[in-house]
Amino acid sequence: MFLNGIPVEMEVYDIYTLLDLMKSEARIMEGLFSMGFKGDELEKFMRLDLGGDSKEFALDIRHTAIQFLNDLENDKKYKNWPSSVQDILRPTFPGMLRHVAKNFFHLVFFVDPTRQTDIELIKMAEAFLVHSAPIRLSVVFVVNFDLEADPHEDASIAISRAFDYIRQEHDFPKALSFVTDIYEKAKGEEITAKLVIKEFKKKYADADMKEVFGKDSDEYDILRRAAKDYVEKSGLGNFPQVLLNGNPLKKSFLTEDTFEEGVVSQIMTQTPDIQKAVYQGNLHDYMNILEYLMEKEHVLPRLNSRVLSPPKKSLDFTTTVDDTLSLDSLYQKSSGEITAVMARDMKYLTRKDEESLFPVTVWVVCDLETPKGRELLYSTIKQLVS
């Protein structure tokens, strides 16, 4: 089903979300109509796809900190699954996931392994892995990033070190299994570094304990250092966070009761874009799917909420005015007329070396009689110069 060319995934949409979409389209049509576009012209504009594949910004998850626990394309446990990208087009019952041996969906957990709310998410990650969910999984431990901290005193660092050792010397599933075994031993009590090291000694007696847990050793501290770098660069915060193909899941989904539903609904939301890419011949079997997904326009190296959050108010630029109208009496004008006159009469500062076409225009609204207003304008001019 398509509404004005927009694919409507029937597994995701209900009557209310469909109504919201229709209202959104109506507002666009009304705006275009008020600017003088009618009939065939209006229809041509409505056909334009200006939204890209996703309206939500995603984070680039290609980084050393993000090491995947499984690989649907190469691991033996998935070898009996169909392995062509074309299989994503296969119809399924509503709410069911397609079991295809392709890395279409990458679920990355950013969690503190010692915090109770995060522990439940780590257990869910292991459950997805054990039950062969068609999802590629990664767990990034957001622990104490102080490089001077002692693993013998901090349980989160001790778990990170043990996890790093097991994944290097054995494999990722065993490393995750060790972490969940620690939770079983703790039985709901506070997890201590002493408990972690004791259990590690039992299972991996041949390991060099100084190399693994030594304060000055960094051989098995690779993932913690990489996680520190990624968290600082990416702008992620307010942990725990879970990303699906770089898109952060809503906080309301990060509970034991709602997590599975949240992941499935996000997969259903992203599936049409992947299907479209396969159908149109943009995604092939020989391609690295993660690279393809991370090269899309809405994927950013950093998520800055101050920049990316939608504005609470927006100006109406659809009103047109004649040249005689001025701002002598603001109270007799509509907001659209005020905006139109402001846009017509605005004076702009530009750099001398700029070309005549300016892709970005910034309006600075401030009171220059206040220090705060002057600081804002000064910052804007400095940004323009540099």
Which amino acid, 123?
A: K
DSSP single-letter state for residue 49: -
> What is the Rg, in whole angstroms, of the alpha carbon atoms belonging to the chain?
26
Which helix (H) or strand (E) element contains residue 184? helix 172-186
Strands (E), 136-217: 136-141
Cis bond before residue 7 (omega within 30° of 0) = no
Strands (E), the chain: 2-3, 6-7, 58-59, 106-111, 136-141, 241-244, 247-248, 299-300
DSSP single-letter state for residue 120: H
The β-bridge relationship of strands 106-111 and 136-141 is parallel
- Please give the structure tokens belonging to residue 282: 């943009």
The β-bridge relationship of strands 241-244 and 247-248 is antiparallel
**Residue 80: Cβ-neighbour burial (10 angstroms; 0-12, 13-18, 19+):** exposed
The residue assigned the tokens 């304008």 is 377
Q: What is the pLDDT of residue 330?
A: 66
Give, rounded to a whole angstrom, the gap between the first and last alpha carbons of the chain. 48
Q: What is the pLDDT of residue 289?
A: 96
CB 121 within 8 A of CB 240: yes
Q: What is the pLDDT of residue 316?
A: 78
What percent of the residues of the chain are helix, what percent strand, and what percent coil, each to the nearest 5?
A: 45, 5, 50
How does DSSP assign 247-279, residue by residue? EEPPGGG-STTTHHHHHHHHHHHHHHHHHHHHH
Nearest residue to 168 via CA among 137, 212, 138: 212
DSSP single-letter state for residue 141: E
pTM: 0.73
pLDDT in tens, the chain (386 residues): 888 777 777 766 788 888 988 998 888 888 888 878 888 888 888 777 655 444 578 999 999 999 999 999 999 999 999 999 999 998 888 778 999 999 999 999 999 999 988 999 999 999 999 999 999 999 999 999 998 899 999 999 999 999 999 999 999 999 999 999 999 998 888 899 999 999 999 999 898 999 999 888 888 999 999 999 999 999 888 899 999 999 999 999 999 889 998 999 899 889 989 999 999 899 999 999 999 999 998 899 998 877 777 666 778 787 878 888 887 776 777 888 888 888 888 888 888 776 677 778 889 999 999 999 999 999 999 998 88
Nearest residue to 163 via CA among 188, 185, 138, 146: 138
Strands (E), 4-77: 6-7, 58-59
Q: What domains are there in the chain, each with its CATH number?
A: 2-47 (no CATH), 58-300 (3.40.30.10), 315-345 (no CATH), 347-385 (no CATH)
CB 322 within 8 A of CB 76: no
DSSP single-letter state for residue 331: G
Q: What is the pLDDT of residue 312?
A: 66
Q: What is the pLDDT of residue 73?
A: 95
- Please give the structure tokens belonging to residue 284: 């092939």
- Pairwise CA distance, residues 106 & 136, whole Å: 5
- Pairwise CA distance, residues 218 & 205, whole Å: 20
Q: What is the pLDDT of residue 321?
A: 80
CB 237 within 8 A of CB 304: no
- Please give the structure tokens belonging to residue 345: 């009469």
Q: What is the pLDDT of residue 274?
A: 93
Q: What is the pLDDT of residue 293?
A: 95
